[in-house]
A = this chain, B = another copy of it.
Amino acid sequence: MEENFILLDAFWEKSFVVDLPLCRVLMEDKEFPWIFLIPRRANIRQMNQLSREDRCVLMEEITTASNLMEQLFPTDILNVAAIGNKTPQLHVHIISRNKQDSLWPEVVWGKQMKKLSEEEKEHNLSRIKAAFAIIFAS
């Protein structure tokens, strides 16, 4: 099914991080440390539409990405969510939340928030990419 996978337009403006065995990882350019895991499967909107095997891989990729985000950014809790009300392609948000962040303790979805500067974005992106590269090399 991967050959028929087409990333929805809404994701084109996000920054590419890495392709894991199942998921494409993208980074959000907002003020929160925030990535998306998007299974490279065609026409999937919800986790329960994936095969059992893909669901297992997805859970492990969520775990790997969660551990990585916790190590890179000061994190009081990770918000992990598949919502998709506005963007009908399965994407799992992984967001590092911190008691000092601007929206704590509210959720980030639907809220006004700052965008990262180009410099901040490149800094976070390079750190996340490097961390995934280390995991893959080990």
Interface residues of A (CB under 8 A from B): 45-48, 52, 55-56, 58-60, 62-63, 66-67, 70, 77-86, 88, 97, 104-107, 109-110
Known contacts A55-B60, A62-B47, A107-B107; is-contact A81 B78 (Cβ 8 Å): no
Residue contact A47 to B80, C-beta cutoff 8 Å: yes
* Residue numbers in B under 8 Å from A106 (CB-CB): 85, 109-110
CB of A72 to closest CB in B, whole Å: 14
A70 to chain B, nearest CB (A): 8
Interface SS, A side: mixed
Chain B neighbourhood of A70, CB < 8 A? 48
Q: Which 3 pairs across A and B sit closest by C-beta, in order of nearness?
A: A81-B81, A85-B105, A48-B66
Give every chain B residue within 8 A of A80 (Cβ-Cβ): 46-47, 81-82
Q: Is the CB of A48 within 8 A of B67?
A: yes
User: Which chain B positions have C-beta within 8 A of A77?
Assistant: 45-46, 83-85, 88
Known contacts A77-B84, A85-B79, A105-B86, A47 near B66 by CB under 8 Å: yes
Complex CA–CA separation, A55 to B57 (angstroms): 11
B107–A85 CB distance below 8 A: yes
